[in-house]
Amino acid sequence: RKPISLPRLAQLRAAGEKITMLTAYDATFAAVADAAGVETILVGDSLGMVCQGLPSTVGVSLETMAYHTASVARGLRRAQGTAWVVADLPYGSYQESAEQAMRSATVLMQAGAHMVKLEGGGWTAPIVRFLVERGIPVCAHLGLTPQTVHALGGYRVQGRGDEGAAQLRRHALQLQDMGASMLVLEMVPAELSARLTEELPHCHTIGIGAGNGTAGQVLVLHDMLGMNLGKMPKFVRNFMQETGSIKEAMAAYVRAVKDGSFPDNTLHAW
């Protein structure tokens, strides 16, 4: 198996094959996900909740992100894994300036990431361009952006109504123009994310609670294994229950995303 690369992801998409993503925060889970056929692994700042017991992602530091990114990268290397590694730039590590974002992204790339992810649209455009021009692949993140949960007023659906949809669309198109090659859409109406996916040929949309019209899907690992300290989001499916082993659960997730049976739009069409 050849390592997953940006051309390989474009190839999958062109062939009409859905891109799969799961979060992982350590060496073992990353290697198991890779072996189960997951193409892209997100070292998400959701590790703040999942691993650190924090109330939100706001308190996650760059140092912590680098630690978990390095763990995932070592696990994949040791297992001769092929997955593409995306690491979240945590809150406060990119908001000040493009230069600050570059310094922070460098830390994550040197820890073993292949791509960094940052939340928000509009104000992030020059930051995305700055990183991409300097050779760092960027994944954007629109819709529900957990780092700004306090400003958003809670974990709720975004991009609703004509105005909300128009703004999200403007931001998404601009991010593609700036060179973002991937875009997480979180808790966005299914219709909107399907439309955006058609309008973003060079930027692969990865949905979570965003219906099944995106180029790929992502779930938080612990959620899809049925383990959650808080409230389980409605859009999650427990793949562990159906399979009984972690590797099988991950393989079932990959199959379900590829054959279009997950997510089921009728369950959470917003």
- Binding site for Mg(2+), residues? 45, 88, 119
23/181 with CB nearer ligand KIV: 23
Q: Which is nearer to ligand KIV, 53 or 161 (CB)?
A: 53
Residue from 44, 137, 207, 211 in contact with ligand KIV (CB under 6 A): 44
Which residue in 88, 138, 175, 268 binds ligand KIV (CB under 6 A)?
A: 88
- Part in contact with ligand KIV (CB under 6 A); list of ranges 8-16, 41-49, 156-164, 232-240: 41-49
Residue 184 contacts ligand KIV per CB under 6 A: yes
Binding residues vs Na ion (CB under 5 A): 44-45, 88
Active site residue 39: no
Which residues on neighbouring strands pair with residue 87, listed in sequence order?
Answer: 43, 116
Residue 218's binding partner out of Na ion, ligand KIV, none, with CB under 5 to 8 Å set by partner kind = ligand KIV
Instruction: Decide if residue 208 touches ligand KIV (CB under 6 A).
Output: yes
Partner interacting with residue 23 (select from ligand KIV, Na ion, none; CB below 5-8 Å by kind): ligand KIV
Closer to Na ion by CB, 52 or 265: give it.
52
Using CB under 6 A, pick the residue from 20, 40, 46, 197 that binds ligand KIV. Answer: 46
Residue among 17, 39, 96, 186 flagged as catalytic? 186
Judged by beta carbon, residue 37 or residue 143, the one nearer Na ion is 143
With contacts defined by CB under 6 A, name the span among 6-14, 42-50, 173-181, 259-267 that binds ligand KIV: 42-50
Q: SS3 letters for the chain? A: CCCCCHHHHHHHHHCCCCEEEEECCCHHHHHHHHHCCCCEEEECCCHHHHCCCCCCHHHCCHHHHHHHHHHHHHHHHHCCCCCEEEEECCCCCCCCCHHHHHHHHHHHHHCCCCEEEEECCCCCHHHHHHHHHCCCCEEEEEECCHHHHHHHCCCCCCCCHHHHHHHHHHHHHHHHHCCCCEEEEECCCHHHHHHHHHHCCCCEEEEECCCCCCCEEEECHHHHCCCCCCCCCCCCCCHHHHHCCHHHHHHHHHHHHHCCCCCCCCCCCC
Pairing type for strands 115-119 and 84-88 reads parallel
Q: How far is the CB of 25 from Na ion (least distance, A)?
A: 11
Residue 23 contacts ligand KIV per CB under 6 A:
yes
φ/ψ of residue 201, rounded to 5: -65, -25
Asked if residue 258 lies in contact with residue 20, where contact means CB atoms within 8 angstroms, the answer is yes
Residues with a known catalytic role: 186
Residue ranges binding ligand KIV (CB under 6 A): 23, 42, 44-46, 88, 184, 186, 208, 218, 220
